Structure 1
């Protein structure tokens, strides 16, 4: 089993990076869609339905599959012997940040549900502020992995 993990490692790592890019794109874009949904949807007849569809497809077609692939590939790499030393700090920092990223993903799903049910209470400004969460987590992850602190 170990031999196969070493053989597929470059492919898994490549797929992981591609999935992370896709997931992050969604995590950056969906809060921005929420900003426009709050601030602009009522101004144009039928726009709210367009926002519902865009938000739903972004979550279901791009973000959820990308998150799942990110996690699967990440776990495969973690279980590849010699890749991660658990006595190092960086894997723990990255792991905590990835869990934070996953929490944020689920928080966004809950906010979308609020929109659909007509129960959104957040403002465009609040969504703009929450749009910084994935940026902070991304910086933390990249620095942890590259600098290996």
Structure 2
């Protein structure tokens, strides 16, 4: 069977990139929500359960993020291989800058999971609720850039 019968390889890369972006964002959206529950939990048994959930979700978030970035870079390489001018588009530069912000957010989440594991969190549930909105704003901006290519 011809591999290309299922679509060009670039489309496969793009499809897997999107699949793992969704996985990554699931963690980026839900980890801060777990932090809110953690801060507001009165019982130590609940806080201990949340620590386990936070650690496990962070692992899945790491995998989703790594694969999203890997397939994204592979897609970028494939598009630039066919047309080097692809790398010179302003919307792409803006998207990559926003992806860098997502990576920084992810790193902050990983540090916060470690803080909660040590019972060393100093942030309020209100701060965490506001912090939880950042990935949604970045997602909207990235999707608009990719689809509209201004």
Same fold (TM over 0.5): yes
d(CA) in 2 for partners of 1:72, 1:86: 17
Corresponding position of 1:75: 73
- State whether structure 2 residue 61 is matched by structure 1 residue 63: yes
The structure richer in helix per residue is 2
Q: CA deviation at 1:135?
A: 0.8
Write the deviation string for residues 74-117 of structure 1: whole angstroms up to 9, x where unpaired.
11111112367122111101101111101101101101111112
- How many residue pairs get aligned? The number is 142
Corresponding position of 1:139: 140
- State whether structure 2 residue 15 is matched by structure 1 residue 17: no
Runs of 4+ in 1 over 6 A off after TM superposition: none
Corresponding position of 2:47: 48
Corresponding position of 2:32: 31
**Backbone CA RMSD of aligned residues:** 1.7
d(CA) in 2 for partners of 1:87, 1:72: 20
Normalising to structure 2: TM-score of the pair? 0.89
The residue correspondences of 1:64-103 to structure 2 (distance < 5 A) are: 64-80=62-78, 81-82=81-82, 85-103=86-104
Structure 2 gaps, min length 5 = none
Write the deviation string for residues 24-53 of structure 1: whole angstroms up to 9, x where unpaired.
11101000000010012xx23411110010
Normalising to structure 1: TM-score of the pair? 0.90
